[in-house]
Structures are given as structure tokens and as C-alpha cells.
Amino acid sequence: MSTSTTPALQGPLTDDELRRLDAYWRAANCLTVGQIYLMGNPLLREPLRAEHIKPRLLGHWGTSPGLSLLYAHANRQIVNRDLNAIYVTGPGHGGPALVANTWLEGTYSELYPSVSRDEDGMARLFRQFSFPGGIPSHVAPEVPGSIHEGGELGYALMHAYGAAFDNPDLVVFCVVGDGEAETGPLAASWLSNVFLNPARDGAVLPILHLNGWKIANPTVLDRIPETDLVSMMRGFGYEPHIVAGDDPTQVHQQLAATMDTALDTIQAIQAHARTTGNGDRPRWPMIVLRTPKGWTGPHEVDGTLVEGTFRAHQVPLPGTRENPEHLAQLERWLRSYRPEELFDATGAPVASLTGLAPRGTRRMSANPHANGGELLRDLVLPDFRDYAVPVPQPGEPVREATRVLGEWVRDVIHANPDRFRLFGPDEVASNRLGAAFEVTDRAFAAERRDGDDHLSPDGRVMEVLSEHLCQGWLEGYLLTGRHGIFTSYEAFIHIIDSMLNQHAKWLKVTRHIPWRRPVASLNYLLSSHVWRQDNNGFSHQDPGFIDHVINKKAEVVRVYLPPDANTLLSTMDHCLRSRHYINVVIAGKQPGPSWLTMDQAVLHCRRGVGIWDWASNDTDSEPDVVLGCAGDVPTMETLAAADLLRQHLPQLKVRVVNVVDLMRLQPESEHLHGLPDSEFDTIFTQDKPIIFAYHGYPWLIHRLTYRRTNHHNLHVRGYKEEGTTTTPFDMVMLNDLDRFHLVIDVIDRVPGLGAKAAHLRQAMVDARQKCRDYTREHGEDDPRVVEWTWPNP
């Protein structure tokens, strides 16, 4: 352990190694500055002029020198140890540094041949950065070797651990920015080592880069006493090693020695665990690197200190086109790296630099784990039909859909012991997926005590009370070529809204990068949903995650609302076979009717939307009204309403339409799954009233269908932010989604029906009131509602 900040002049690097390593770092820094500033004269073959400078200076210099320093030293370790390693960049604004390193080691030019390793290619490299038609300033999907953009801070460490799970020979160098370290998700991420099994998983080497500043403020972890910082890291289960200084020679030697020690420790930990089979939590190494923000850049600008301050965060010399002194200072800055020593007459890196980088797929920018689709193998999936609920007639038997699914998920886990995990924030059993524990445990490498339930380092169920960690781990797992499901309560999946945004953007962009291979889909199974929160109440009632997902690009999102156990089995089998999507599946965990046989369920899920003939009475004629539904509880209420209409208005022609794939409601011009207008009009008619019972906020259905011919006749019932701790039927009544209100809607909307059905309408109003009174008196729903079943012959 190295906890002293006193620099050592001696170290493991010979003079020649030190010289070459420093030259590589200088080359990366020079290329980084060039990307931020230059659109011409990349090798400074002539004096720098204003026309060589970009008109809009964008990018971030402050964190970049540290990122390049660590990248160069990681490369040394890869070469010396033949490591299989990737690099996760928490300070995403250091994008130009990572681009520079991938160009230096050749991968960038291999994937983008026009950005060749010569003067012309260097000019293109510089011009494209943060330039219209070019590349973003973050470590975006376009950057080889990236699985983490870092544009939104807080997720680097959880992505790194997700990548390490089930990758026993992988080392993930994870740089955590000190600003990023202040976020809630990153603060929780330090606990990830509790879930890492050294006998089976890879390793993460966290490197906390303390350069001291954010955009305009000091960073908290830089300003607390170092003893407190060391204690904090030790409390999280790490052995911290401190590297600090502003003299490159001394820092190179310190960092080389410290990385040697850290990787020796990792190898010893893994060797012990794999020899003994003991997967208990060790004390893993981590590094704290203290170097100046904007290191090697302008020390002062216009008499104001820049290097080592927040002023180095973005563009230290903002006025180079207009200010001759700034232009001259920029030229001195670039020439301080001595580019004539680093690049030959053609503009290519000199041989002494290219010889330092790893070869082939050992390069972090070419490692297939950072392009996970290259490693992706199909899951071995048991035939979901073997888990079917026998349905002798619609509505029977009553089953808990997610419990039925749990038996299939159990066997998916058993059949795929190295590439599938189930993630959930302490809710796997609560969401009725407890069958998984028949074949595995919850992953847990910390202390275990008598009375614990299914805890072991070998567990494949990842449970931690943090939606952020579940999401981030799964993203890292998927992006490195594996599969998984994230199960959560519906209301609290909102916690990761912004993380979903970032993953959806990643999928959208990578679909159009030819060398990026598709990865397995991110699958959400949301249960404990809005309509059944009997003991939790209003705080747990929010179906708006669907709305959030549908805001994303249609090419990457799918939303499914299976109405029973058999449709849920078919849907989840489809989702686990899919690639490069975000699939959201919402299904209740409470007992509910089984509507379709497995054969019917498979056909219905393939269609995504369909007329349920057995529930309709409009065969060979136009309906008077269409009853649409999406979601398990809305489906039940819709069918109960259809039953009431059959009993009391037998002459009324009713068509029942169930939607399992919500995207089918959109036109095909808006979504790949969208129904053509002709087909939509055939199902929903062009002129008949549509009473639609929907699981979530009703306005989403209007948004999805606003272009349809018959939209003006569409009337949607759904959740309208009315809720409390109450009975299931009282909950649907609070939101006017109940069967009685749906019948009232039919009476009010079908032309000419109002006066004829006035008595029925009044009876429906009275029925609602009686049910309300019953719950208030007895504390449970009226048995006439609870015991209702579909009337089969």
C-alpha cells in the first residue's frame, strides 16, 4: 500500500521506458489540444494563423491529461502482463483524449480509414471533433473501445462492474472523476465489490482522479482530509493507493509502481479464490490520482492562473481567433509537446511510440468486450410452451402471471450459467420470481449469517436496494455481450429515467455505426403495478414509465402489456431473443384470470393486437362499439363490461380488441411495429365509438393514435392520478376504469343508445356507489365483483 504523497524519484521505469512513456503521453496531449482548437496546420509546419483555428471552440481540456496518462500506463500493464482489459472513462468530457489514444494505437484509422495515421488523417481527426457533421465531445459510441459515454455523470463504476461479472479474465480500468464522485449513483457504486466473486468474475481497478475542480467549484473529495478519504475507501472495502504530484517524471514512476502493486494484488486475490474456491469478498485495490486540472496546459492566461484551477475545465484559451496573444500562446502550448519528435515527415506516430501500444485485440480500443455484440451468444431458452397454463375456457384458471413466468426464468438461469443474470432492487421474490432461488442464490460476497436467505458469492440474482446499480450493472453486462432481465416495481423504475435515456441514445447511435455489433436487448419486467398497490398506496402508483420510454426513438423501444400468464411467457421469450432494443413488459403479480390458451397467446402476441372473437358478438357485421384494452386489469374490466352489455343490451354489437404490443397503435410511418391505416381501420372501424381501457395515463393512447381516421371517436380511460391505499376495485373506480363506468361510456357514446338505455345507465351509477359503500363498510371489495368470471357456456 502507498498512502504517502511524498514522491519517489526512483521507480520501476528505466530511463528509456520513462522517456518513451512520457513521449506517448505528450503525443496524446498534443493530439487532444489539436482536436479542441485546430482545423488546419495540424503539424505546425507553418506559423499558426487565425484561419487555422475553429470558429467555435468546444471540448474539455481539464480532465484530458490525466485520462491520457492513465491510458498510457494501462497500456504498459497490458503489454507486460498480456492483460485482457478495457477502459471506462467516467469524466466523459475527456472525449478528445480517448480519441487521441485510439488514433495513436491505430484502431481509429482501421475503423475510419479516412482518418488515417498521417498528416491528412490527423487534419481530419482534428477538424471532426465537436464540429458539424463530426463527432461529439464525449467518449461517445463512435469512439472505439467505449462502453460508457460519460455525458451524464455517475455511472462509470457500475458499468465497469457489470462488464466484469462473468468475465473471469477481464480487467476493467475505471476512471472516476472527482466531480462524478459527488453523484448519488456513483456513491452507491463503491458497494459493487460486495457482489463481485473473485473466483468467477473479472476485476475492476477504480482510479479516482482528483484534479480538484468541477466547472466552477472545488470538488468535495479533493477538499476533505486525505485521512478521511482513505478511511472512506477502506470502509467501502478497498485498499487505497495514493499517487500525487505535478512533476511528470515523478508521477510516471509513482503511477507505474502503484499500478504494478495493484495488479499484483488483483492477480493474487484471483489466484487464491480460484485455487481454494473461496469467493468471499477480499479487499480490492483502488488508486487515488492527484494531478493538476489542465496539467501541461497554459499556466496563466491574461495574468490569471489557469492550470490547476477550474478555468482549465473547458477551453483555456477561448479567444485565439481574435486575440493575437492567445494565438501565440496556443502555438507555444502545442510546440511544448515537441511534435517534431513524435510524428514523422508523413505525420504518422514515430516507431518508438507505436511500439508501446498493445497489439491486435489486446488494444483497449479494439478489445471485443467493448463491442459486446462480437462476443454475444444466443441464450439456451427452454420452450416456454412447456410452462403453459392450461385454459379450458376463457377466464379459467386464476394464476399469478409472474409466478408462472418465474418457473421459466428459473430454467433460463440454469441453462445459461455464464451469460444470463436477473437484476432487481430487493424485489425478485416480491414480484413472484422466487422460483429462481431453486437453482441459484443472490450474489453476495460479504459476511453471511445464519438465517440469511439464498446468499452466496456464486449467486446469479443481483439484488441491491438501488435501481441505479441494477440498471448500470445490467447495462455493463449487456454491452459486453451478455443477457439479462431487470425486474422492478413499476412506480420506482422512474428512478433510472435518465439512465434509460442514455442507454437508448447509445442504442440509437450504434445502430448506425457499421462496426458496432448489436447487443442483447435491455429487458424490463415491471410488476407491482399501479392497479394493485393494496398496502402501499398513492406513493406506489405511477404508470408513467411507459410515456417516458415512448419518447425515445421508435427504432429502439418496445412496450408490451400481456394480459395473462401465457401471453407473458410468449412475450418474454420474444424479448430475450431480441437484439438492440429496450423492451418494457408490464405484468401483474396478483392472481388474475387466464384468457388465452398457449396457441392463442402465441398468435395474439405475434399480431400484437387482435379481436377476441370469443368475447365479441359482431361476427359478420359491423360493431356498434369497439371495446379496446391494454393491460391485465383494464382487460379484465373491459371483459366484465362486455358481459354486462351482453346481459342488458343483447342487441348491441360489441367488438373486443386487446392490445399486447402498444406500438401497434402507431402508424407504420412512426414505428416499425405500427399498423397500416387500412388494418387499423379494419380492426377499430372508421366511424364507430371506441371505448379504450388502458393501463397507464390515457393521453398516451391519444398521442399514439392522433393520426388515425377514427381518432375523434376514441375515448380513453386510464390512470388519472387518483389513488390511495384501498381495494383493487375501488382503485379502478377512483380512475373511472371500472366495468360500470365503461358501460356508462358505451351508453353515452353510441348514437341513439342514451335514451333507450337510461335505466341501465342509472343502474351502473348505482352499482358503483354500492361497491364504494361496501368497501367502506367491510374493508374489501364486494364479492359480486371479486367472484365475477367470464360467462362460458
pLDDT, residue 6, reads 39
Measured between alpha carbons, how far is residue 708 from residues 19, 194, 579, 665, 741 in Å?
69, 52, 30, 9, 25
> How wide is the angle at C-alpha 97 spanned by C-alphas 96 and 103, nearest 5°?
85
Question: For the CA atoms of 192, 197, 202, 203, what is the dihedral angle to 10 degrees?
Answer: 50
- pLDDT tier at 8, thresholds 50, 70, 90: very low
Cα(155)–Cα(289) distance, integer angstroms: 19
Using CA atoms, how far apart are residues 515 and 512, in angstroms rounded to an integer? 9
CB 89 within 8 A of CB 150: yes
pTM assigned to the model? 0.95
* Distance from C-alpha of 458 to C-alpha of 306, rounded to nearest angstrom: 50
Supply the pLDDT for residue 93. 79
- Where does 45-146 show beta strands of DSSP type E? 84-89
Q: Read off the DSSP letter of residue 346.
A: T
**CA 728 to CA 779: how far, in whole Å?**
11
Percent of the chain with pLDDT strictly greater than 70: 98
CA dihedral sign of residues 487, 491, 492, 497:
positive
Beta strand 300-301 pairing with 304-305? antiparallel
- What is the DSSP code (8-state) at residue 624? S
Q: In this predicted model, what pLDDT tens digit does every residue of 501-527 receive, in sequence order?
A: 999 999 999 999 999 999 999 999 999
- Within 13 A of 563's CA, how many CA atoms are on the CB side? 36
Task: Please check the confidence at residue 4 and state whether its pLDDT lies above 70.
Answer: no
Q: Which amino acid is at 695?
A: H
Maximum Cα–Cα distance across the chain: 99
Question: Do residues 430 and 436 lie in contact, with contact meaning Cβ atoms separated by under 8 Å?
Answer: no
Distance CA 528, CA 586 (A): 9
734 close to 771: Cβ distance less than 8 angstroms: no
Q: Of all helices (H) and strands (E), which one includes residue 31?
A: helix 15-37
Q: What is the pLDDT of residue 256?
A: 98
CA distances from 116 to 104, 144, 263 (A): 10, 15, 34
Give mean pLDDT, residues 599-627: 96
Mean pLDDT of 403-427: 96
For residue 49, give the amino acid letter: R
Q: Give pLDDT tens digits for 710-720.
A: 999 999 999 99
pLDDT at 133: 86
Q: How far apart are CA 221 and CA 441, in angstroms?
A: 36
What cell numbers appear for 612 in the block?
Answer: 377476441
- pLDDT band at residue 534 using 50, 70 and 90 as cut-offs: low
- Percent of the chain at pLDDT > 90 equals 89
Confidence of residue 86 (pLDDT cuts 50, 70, 90): very high
How far apart, in Å, do the first and last CA atoms of the chain sit? 78
Residue 237: band (very low, low, confident or very high) from pLDDT cuts 50, 70, 90:
very high
d(CA 183, CA 186): 5
**Residue with the larger pLDDT of the pair 91 and 166:** 166
Quick one: pLDDT at residue 9? 55
Model confidence pLDDT, tens digit, residues 731-774: 999 999 999 999 999 999 999 898 899 999 999 999 999 999 99
Render pLDDT for 262-286 as a digit per residue (tens, 0 to 9). Answer: 999 999 999 999 999 888 899 999 9
As given in the structure block, the three cell numbers for residue 728 are: 383493487
Q: What is the DSSP letter of 281?
A: -
Separation CA 328–CA 301 (nearest Å): 12
Residue by residue, DSSP assigns 145-196 as: T-S---SSSS-HHHHHHHHHTT-TTEEEEEEEETTGGGSHHHHHHGGGGGG-
Q: Which residues contact 758 (CB under 8 A, 6 or more apart)?
A: none
Q: In this model, does residue 535 exceed pLDDT 70?
A: no
Q: Confidence class of residue 528 from pLDDT cuts 50, 70 and 90?
A: confident
How open is the CA angle 320-326-327, to the nearest 5 degrees? 60
Look at residue 488 and tell me whether its pLDDT is greater than 60.
yes
The pLDDT assigned to 754 comes to 82
For residue 430, give the 3-state DSSP assignment: coil
pLDDT in tens, 463-483: 999 999 999 999 999 999 999
**What span, in angstroms and rounded, lies between the C-alpha atoms of 458 and 200?**
8
* Calpha distance 69→58 (Å, rounded): 22
Q: What is the mean pLDDT of residues 514-542?
A: 86
C-alpha cell, 44: 505546425
Tens digit of each residue's pLDDT (9 = 90 or more) over 648-669? 999 999 999 999 999 999 999 9
Distance CA 425, CA 419 (A): 20
**pLDDT confidence of residue 10:** 81
Q: Where do we find the cell 455517475? A: 154
Mean pLDDT of 369-395: 98
Q: List the beta bridge partners of residue 204.
A: 172
pLDDT of residue 529: 85
Q: How far apart are the C-alpha atoms of 5 and 246, rounded to whole Å?
A: 11
What letter would DSSP give residue 518? P
- Among 223, 238, 244, CA closest to 288: 244
How long, in residues, is the chain?
Answer: 793
How far apart are alpha carbons 366 and 309 in whole angstroms?
Answer: 34
CA angle 181, 503, 293 (to 5 degrees): 30
**CA gap 86, 431 in Å, rounded:** 35
